[in-house]
A and B are shown apart, each in its own frame.
Chain A
């Protein structure tokens, strides 16, 4: 069975840091451009970051560039999102996903809620 399970969310003060983890099972993350997508409360979906399938490149939305870092551990089949200098506007559910655009496979996790508030 394919699963993506995020963890590491929570309540954090502005300026703080959190690291989200996404453990994959049933498939190998190195076969996909793994992606983080976020959804602020009551709002739509926004692409945040991805890491190329071979790990050679990463990309970030302008809103998080310089503050967030995506990485992965192939041995643990786990994707990460290190989030630093958090702001209130980073409050959202963060989804780990393959976000495939061209083939009949696409996986999403259940999401991890990050709340940035004092």
Chain B
């Protein structure tokens, strides 16, 4: 299985400041169809996961533009340009290129 790693696992941030989460895969996530199936999810406390980003950098409907995704191959990043209180939660990357789909361990974002 493709192993997804994230860093840091815990990220205390100051309101209004930027935040960045790294995600790495044990194999390239470039599919034979040319697409890279790397998603990012947010899970707020007590809630179900919610997808933020699909195919590396495409924001889902309703996701604030302070969230952005980038990367290629095996190295990916989720950035929050200015952290707001509602961004507290756990962020997961997930690869959908290889079977089975696998998630990273999660990065817990909270406010300093």
Chain B residues with Cβ below 8 Å from A109 are 48
The answer on a CB contact under 8 Å between A104 and B61 is: yes
Chain A residues with Cβ below 8 Å from B96 are 99, 101-102
The answer on a CB contact under 8 Å between B105 and A108 is: no
The answer on a CB contact under 8 Å between A110 and B48 is: yes
Q: Which of B48, B50, B58, B105 contacts A44 (CB under 8 A)?
A: B105
The answer on a CB contact under 8 Å between A45 and B41 is: yes
Most buried by B among A95, A102, A103: A102
Asked if B89 is an interface residue, CB under 8 A from chain A, the answer is no
The answer on a CB contact under 8 Å between A101 and B48 is: no
The answer on a CB contact under 8 Å between A95 and B54 is: no
The answer on a CB contact under 8 Å between A104 and B106 is: no
The answer on a CB contact under 8 Å between B103 and A102 is: no
Majority-rule SS of A interface residues: loop
For chain A, give the interface size range: 20 to 34
Asked if B102 is an interface residue, CB under 8 A from chain A, the answer is yes
Chain B residues with Cβ below 8 Å from A45 are 41, 43, 49, 92, 94, 103, 106
Interface of A with B (CB < 8 Å)? 37, 44-47, 59, 61, 95, 97, 99-104, 106, 108-111
Which 5 pairs between the two chains have the least Cβ-Cβ distance?
Answer: A101-B96, A106-B51, A101-B37, A45-B103, A108-B48
Interface of B with A (CB < 8 Å)? 35, 37, 39, 41, 43, 48-51, 54-55, 58, 60-61, 92, 94, 96, 99-106
Q: List 29 A-B contacts (CB under 8 A).
A: A44-B92, A44-B103, A44-B105, A45-B41, A45-B49, A45-B92, A45-B94, A45-B103, A46-B103, A47-B100, A47-B101, A47-B102, A47-B103, A59-B100, A61-B100, A95-B48, A97-B49, A101-B37, A101-B39, A101-B54, A102-B37, A102-B54, A102-B55, A102-B96, A104-B58, A104-B60, A106-B51, A106-B54, A109-B48
